[in-house]
Homo-oligomer: A and B are copies of this chain.
Amino acid sequence: MSTPATRRSSIGDVARLAGVSVGTVSNVLNRPDRVAESTRERVLEAIRRLAFVPNASARQLRAGTITTVGAIVLDIRNPFFTEVARGIEDRLAAADHTLMLASSDDDREREARYLRLFEEHGVSGLLVVPTGDDLGPLLGLAARGVHTVLLDRPSPTDALSSVAVDDVAGGLQAGEHLLGLGHRSILMLNGPHAIRPCRDRLTGLRRAVERRGLDPDAVVREVPVPTLDAGGAAAAFAPLLEGDRVPTAVFCVNDLVAIGVQREIRRRRPDLIGSIAIVGYDDIEIAAELATPLTSVRQPAHALGYRAAEILLARAAADAPVAEHQVFQPELVVRSSSVPA
């Protein structure tokens, strides 16, 4: 209103108004105990009067330190990832750090752009769900001294810490469940194999089949989903409802995909509702509230993020080059969507 949009006031303005040197103002800000009470009061008053806000760039340039952490997830719209982000944020807040969140959309270029942005800004660490298998860029970052933790991926190297969930085990549980229900033909709606969990969940599923002494190639059919959300899944699943070999059991690589499948069945073949077994993955909050409550493999999303942040903070604090790796175990939650054969 009153103040015209003018230059931000600097520590120098404050010093002038308070009649002290800039060094003293800086001390008031950072080590108040070193400044005499009366001086401190005067400086604080000046700060208030000028509505002074320190310039983070200048501070960081000189001091080098920063309390911001960057995270890149595949898709911010997937509740699984927002829950992971929550876990990260909760841990960071406890250490007075802040999170800057970005979503790569599973797009290498977007990922690269954000990686660069974060590196240029000198974040004190990075938590990344990588888009593909090529960890080159991340290894480069790590080599340049940026602490990095892989999210939702096991790390193949000690150059990178990692926090993951055992996806093979998850696929195995889903497979055993469906086989136990009598299914001998299982469709897996899967994402690109460049995404490691997609591969692993399929591997787990096939392993379950093998353990029953069956032939995975005969039992499991894989169909790719263009994008890992409900819309993409619906598009990929629709043609399968037309033919004469309509699937009887579907294992979906995540819950959004499962929701897309359910939607498509309801739209195109309402007669089949309740006769196709569906198992999802993630156990997002609304899985239990769906038209057909979804059987799903639960992942400890919050813990995943929390722990990743913790590892990052520990590494940054110690500046120790020891990588930490943690693997959580998933847990099958059975609801009514997985019907017997």
Asked whether, in the complex, the Cβ of B51 is within 8 Å of the Cβ of A144, the reply is yes
Asked whether, in the complex, the Cβ of A121 is within 8 Å of the Cβ of B77, the reply is no
Contact pick for A57, options B60, B82, B89, B100, CB 8 Å: B60
Asked whether, in the complex, the Cβ of A144 is within 8 Å of the Cβ of B3, the reply is yes
What 0/1 readout, one digit per residue, does chain A (66-92) give for beta carbons within 8 Å of chain B? 001000000011010011011001000
Asked whether, in the complex, the Cβ of A143 is within 8 Å of the Cβ of B83, the reply is no
Cα separation A135 to B5 with both chains bound (whole Å): 18
Minimum CB–CB distance for A241 against chain B, Å: 17
Residues on B with C-beta less than 8 A from A82 are 76-77, 82
Any B CB within 8 A of the CB of A53: yes
Asked whether, in the complex, the Cβ of A230 is within 8 Å of the Cβ of B285, the reply is yes
Asked whether, in the complex, the Cβ of A139 is within 8 Å of the Cβ of B98, the reply is no
Copies in the complex: 2
Cα separation A100 to B139 with both chains bound (whole Å): 24
Minimum CB–CB distance for A92 against chain B, Å: 11
Minimum CB–CB distance for A263 against chain B, Å: 6
Any B CB within 8 A of the CB of A61: yes
Asked whether, in the complex, the Cβ of B102 is within 8 Å of the Cβ of A56, the reply is no
Contact pick for A89, options B53, B98, B103, B289, CB 8 Å: B103
- Using CB atoms, name the residue of chain B closest to A288: B263
What 0/1 readout, one digit per residue, does chain A (139-169) give for beta carbons within 8 Å of chain B? 1100111000000000000010000000000
Asked whether, in the complex, the Cβ of B117 is within 8 Å of the Cβ of A98, the reply is yes
- Using CB atoms, name the residue of chain B closest to A294: B289
Could you give 21 example pairs across A and B, Cβ below 8 Å?
A1-B159, A8-B122, A8-B145, A53-B116, A56-B121, A56-B122, A57-B57, A57-B58, A57-B60, A57-B61, A59-B120, A76-B86, A77-B83, A77-B86, A89-B103, A98-B117, A100-B102, A286-B286, A289-B291, A290-B290, A290-B291
Which A residues lie at the B interface, using CB under 8 A?
1-3, 5-6, 8, 51, 53-61, 68, 76-77, 79, 82-83, 85-86, 89, 98-103, 113-114, 116-117, 119-122, 139-140, 143-145, 159, 230, 259, 262-263, 285-286, 288-291, 293, 319, 321
